Homo-oligomer: A and B are copies of this chain.
Amino acid sequence: MNVSLLNSRDAALLGRAQRVVPGGVWGHMATRAIGPGYPQFFARSEGCRVWDVDGNEYVDFMCAWGPNLLGYHHPVVDAAALEQMKAADIGNGPTEKMVELAELMVDTVDGADWALFQKNGTDATTVCVMIARAQAGKRKILVARGAYHGAVPWCTPSVVGVTAEDKAHLIHFDFNDAASLRAAADQAGDDLAGIMITAYRHDVQRDQEMTDPAFLAEARAICDRTGAALILDDVRASFRIHLRGSWFPHGVKPDLAAMSKSIANGWPISAVVGGNAFREAAAKIFTTGSFWYGGAAMAAAVATIGILKESNAISHTIAMGERLRAGLDEAARRNGFRLRQTGPAQMPMLLFDDDADLRIGNAFGLAALRHGAYFHPRHNMFLCAAHTPADVDRGIEAADNAMKDIAAAGYVQS
């Protein structure tokens, strides 16, 4: 147990932050959007461990919300990035690494004939929407209710600072509901430009759902019939489900796919890959960024994909996720709690039954922190290749102790 979890340095930093940053911290990493009591600031990371600014060490099951796939500070990835950086990172044009990475993406991802690179996942989903519209000369984009595709006006889950026109051409359907998808396509009529679907359903604070192959086949059929782009938003799952893309196991090829998060093991980059039918449209849109050609992040991506190809990293994260899931189930039974663990084992979601307000989940997460494990009470988590069985077991033990603590404190399910 982290007996030193006083978080005094964290509190002091947050106090300073609140003076110079609106709300102290913005976006998905603001702890006020997680459970209360979570450390906000971090000082160190290594492998599958993170240390907060007060020196507390955690076995980390959040992995920087996705980017950490091979372990923080992977020596091969970082060496490749730093070697490229020493020569040239940004300049008046791209480096050779851009070509190498694009070739590797085409070689790796199912259905990819070309690639473009950006910085944010949101850049990638936005570029997909632009390409779909440029290709079709049409406007409507179908998206699932509750799905997260980024945080600019056209897709941000908030309405604050957003106009109705920003989302004027979005039509919603229900994930895994083919009839609702057909109805949305009918509503778009002749104006259907694309259908965007995440790798599987990984909406915040709800059970995850694997993609129904029949639903996906319906999406593919609609796009084949209408010429609209079937867009895979693979930003969060990038390479974690399958090296050839998250829909490869389903045998469904997207026309366009947005990737980011883990493709360079934490170095900032995103990518759009697509098929030849959308190549001309992809060349016609104008989209760019000051740092999009940075060679270091591209070298990191090349190294990351190389390791994924040559190692069992992905299957290892699956095995570790299954070990964690089994251990948490057992701990819950032992301590009288009912859990729902959903989604791919390597991107696990952990919710307590009868806990709509997350009272139990938040208390559990906070108690687990005190026992040295970082879980998330309402967002899917991530395993990485640096998690050993011993690390996972340490996480399970922390969870077991956390459940004991909250049971003793009177948290019970009805």
Chain A: residues with CB nearer than 8 A to chain B? 13, 16-17, 19-23, 25-29, 31, 39-45, 50-51, 53, 60, 62, 64-68, 72-73, 78, 82, 85-96, 98-99, 102-103, 105-106, 113-116, 119-123, 126, 129-134, 139, 151-154, 156-158, 160-163, 165-166, 168-169, 235, 260-261, 266, 268, 279-294, 297, 374
Contact = CB atoms under 8 A, between A and B. Distances in A.
Given A114-B22, A126-B153, A158 B92 contact: no
A21 B285 contact: no
A65 B200 CA distance: 39
A19 B276 CA distance: 10
Given A67-B291, A89-B266, 13 more contacts: A29-B288, A41-B95, A41-B96, A42-B88, A42-B93, A44-B88, A53-B96, A67-B90, A120-B120, A120-B289, A122-B289, A130-B162, A134-B161
Contact of A65 (B23, B120, B290): B290
Given A21-B116, A27-B286, A165-B165, A42 B95 contact: yes
Contact of A94 (B29, B280, B297): B29
Nearest to A136: B161
B64 A92 contact: yes
Contact of A114 (B20, B90, B168): B20
A99 B17 contact: yes
Contact of A288 (B28, B73, B86): B28
A317 to B, nearest CB: 17
Nearest to A282: B22
Closest 6 CB pairs of A and B: A27-B288, A130-B161, A134-B161, A268-B291, A23-B283, A158-B286
Given A20-B102, A53-B96, A95-B42, A121 B290 contact: yes
A286 B160 contact: yes
B286 A156 contact: yes
Given A120-B123, A133-B162, A152-B152, A22 B286 contact: no
Q: Which of A40, A88, A96 has the most CB of B within 10 A?
A: A88
A114 to B, nearest CB: 5
Given A16-B103, A169-B165, A289-B122, A94 B42 contact: yes
A133 B161 contact: yes
Contacts of A50: 88, 91-92
Given A20-B106, A29-B93, A288-B29, A168 B163 contact: yes
A42 B156 contact: no
Given A21-B98, A50-B92, A119-B268, A163 B169 contact: yes
A403 B280 CA distance: 38
A391 to B, nearest CB: 16
Nearest to A280: B22
A289 B27 contact: yes
A86 B260 CA distance: 22
A104 B107 CA distance: 45
A64 B91 contact: yes
Contacts of A90: 64, 67-68, 266
A33 to B, nearest CB: 9
Contacts of A123: 120, 152
A158 B283 CA distance: 12
A131 B153 CA distance: 11
A294 B268 contact: yes
Contacts of A22: 114, 116, 279-280, 282-283
A99 B156 contact: no
Nearest to A9: B96
